[in-house]
Structure 1
Amino acid sequence: MSISDFWKNIWAPKSITGIDINGKYINIVNILNLGKTIKLKQIASEEIKKIDRLSDQLSSIFQRHRINHEMVVSCISSSCCFIRELSLPFDNIKKIQKVVKYQLEPYVPAPIEELIVDFLSLNGGTSPLLVAGVPKDILTQHISLFSEIGFEPQIISIDIVALIFLYLYTNSIASQKIEGPVAIIYFSSEHTSVMIINNNDIDFIRVLPGRIHDTQDIIDTFKFYKLKKSEFQIKKVLLTGYLSNQEELKSKLEKELNIEVSEWRPFDTISSEKNITIDKQTRLSVALGLAIYPLYYGKKLLNLRKEEFSYKKEGINTKQILTVGVYVLLILALIGVDLHYRVSTQKQLYNSLRKKIQLVFRRTFPEVRTIIKGKELFQMKQKMSEEMSKYQWINDITNKPYCLDVLKNLSMSIPSSLNIKVENLLIDGNKVEFEGYAPSFEAVDELEKALKRNHMFKTIKLVGAK
């Protein structure tokens, strides 16, 4: 997880409730967001008793099951939407959001001003797009249903989109991931939809209006996909929704399609303490997809709460602020502990080195009685400099010619025939001075020439002669 996803996860609500209200049932799934994983908290499924008392029944379910509504995600049935696949010549999301509504206009039999339009990427990028338009009066009725019980859904999507995201999520965490195209057939009381997902991409969607009692329309849909995507072979077919005579349906589809067909069991991959039957798993699949929907960071979400239907937050979420505060305090505490550990370790190392320096100091200079704490190294360097200065003459001798070498070279340079007598000799650094007697000025000249021939003496200078 990236840093941005980490902070998104912190701000994300810890409790999310997905609500799927269709023509026959109210289905509710509540999950806990635990960061990297989720846990199933509550489920509820009730047949709608009276359509005109729907809000009362919904409120009763929340009260009886004590379902949290910190964040609510609901959906509109695909049968109430205009769903089209569109391709645009650009990929900029902000630009698409500005023009997509008017790009859909030629393909819908209703005034575009009366629709709320949003889109979803089909194939990993941003084009082609799955574009959905929903009449505003349907959204108004949908939101007012929740307003009557005291809260509103923050996100409103479409049932088939919730199923797509549910498959992407469950397949990503499954121990054995399905590779290649997988078909999901959703049986609703209002429509039957076929979705084909190829790995992480949405390959194909078809919404068949009304409840299908014959498999021929489904088989024709698969044939149409085969014509469109002849290079792909569907690996598996998953059935979900309101299934009746599922064994007969499975056998028919397997025989006609020659593909493995099974009921979809998405709850098997979710951590839960509940034992959920296959019938409930297929019925509650849309509600589970809606609950997971806000946590999926990989794709752009299709959210119909736009324009005048945008969700207006009712103040600060105290729980989120407290959660962030706890995380910040925890991070600061960890930084403080790490800093304290580093300082403590460095202090121990420093004290250990100081004791070793003191020990070496006392052994080397036992005459020093007082060692200043914290200045041991400086004091020892100072004492070493003092001691070394006492023996500087040794260094001077090693770097300069010995006196005997000078006398030897001087003696060898003076010819014995000149009868020269040296009385005083002074060696001062690199300078040699001597005084003596010579029998004649000619002998002095000969001495100067002889000394110049000796390479030990660079410059020969006669100071005086008398």
Structure 2
Amino acid sequence: MARRVIGLVIGSRSIKAVELVSRFGEYSIERYWLIDLGSGFQERVFGLKSGVSESVMVPEALNRLAESGYEFSMSIPSELFFYRELNFPFSDQKKISQVIKLEAEGYFAFSLEGYLLDFLPPLAWAQGSQVLVFVLERERYSSVLSQLKSIKIDPGFTTVEGLGLPLLSFREQKGFCLWIELGVKHSILVGAYGERAFFYRRVPIGVEGLGDISSSGFCGLDINQERVKTWADSVLAGVKDSFHWLERSQKGGGQFPGFEEVIISGEGALISGIEDYLAMELNLKVSKFFIPSWVKKSQSIPLELEPVLAEPLSLALASVSREGKKLINFREGEFGWKPEFKIDYKRWAFPAGLMFLILTLGITKGVSQHNLEKRRYEQVKKQMVLECQRFVSGSVCESDPVSQVKTALERGKKQVSAYRDLLYPSAVEVLSAVGEQVPEEIDFVLSRYSYSGDKVKLEGDTSDFANTKEIVDRLSKVEFFKKVSLEDSRSSPTGRVNFSIQIELKNQGEEKK
């Protein structure tokens, strides 16, 4: 799986940030940012003004970069600072805070509290120990080392003078690797086992040894040229001498197992054929990694590179462009990126055709299912019309048989509920009591009888008003009638008297009393 790291180069006026990706042992630039530091930040960091006491605010652009979750590597010009990595075999935050405070005292003329962890965040080893990255002034190296040892911390220091060496932090192999960084005046050799650096040596061999041809760049140089080969021999001699020095310095008489791979970086890595030459002479696997010099060294963007900066990286990102990965547009003073993609149409032709076929079949099935449901509804409707005409003679059901059946059902329910109360046993009992109390000699016709819970209403007619009063008196004598009242009595055109009697029934508790 590819691993990513952010490499930072602090210049006098800007920070150059490069996202580097390792795939199968080869490194490529994925993104590039140029962050303007601002005049206040320059003055404080590079000591252009002394006696400054206020704290430094990290540029907002760098804050956004820090929140992206990448591992960080820092590279600062060697003329100003050393770059150090301190391995702490503990995770006690209190001890770590003591170290931070101790280191910050000799940094600059201003306070770095609350700033160091944001700008140089701690890295975590797989074994659980922590790594803090610090920038030290040259004259503070020995005093800081002695103070750290006084609190029982034995840090492993490595000096980094370019952008190559921080990449050790994301190497996945566990074998022994020698990293060679070819600087301008001198070169640095770092031995590492996996992610842990165990050997550091500085040799006085740099690309300025190539003389005047170094100013024209190294893309056109070939190892077969006599002058270049002589210079490469001096590099080779420094490497072999370092191997012998490492073997002699091994404690306990243990034999050093030897390196398995060499990675050469820096300006000299641009020389064509240098990796094959070193591989043949050292009998080791040698690979090359370089970052364009205009990314690594220049404090301002050269005029000839401005067209490159205005377009996707045509130089360093040419291979990334061919692979169709995300490209970044960047200009001076901006912190942001514009995603651009190159789609491989041949690769996506089959999935796109398969998706189109699936959608077509799905739509066809949906339409056919809808038509089937529609035909089924028409068939059911036709059967309902036939049944309606069969049971309801003379009816017209063709228009809407469903609503006609619903209307007939509601009408039937109302008729059933109207007669349902008359079927209760208590309703029959009340009607029997009325019949017993009215003698046969009284002319009495009951035309309407309604029963609802504890109330009964009788409507009818008799021959005269005296019969009406007698009927009320007789009904009042019924034991379970609570109250009998004559609501209305009037003469009809036929000479008979129409009456309406309201009866209120006793409940079961009142009957027992």
Q: TM-score, normalised by structure 2?
A: 0.38
Larger Rg: 2
Q: TM-score, normalised by structure 1?
A: 0.40
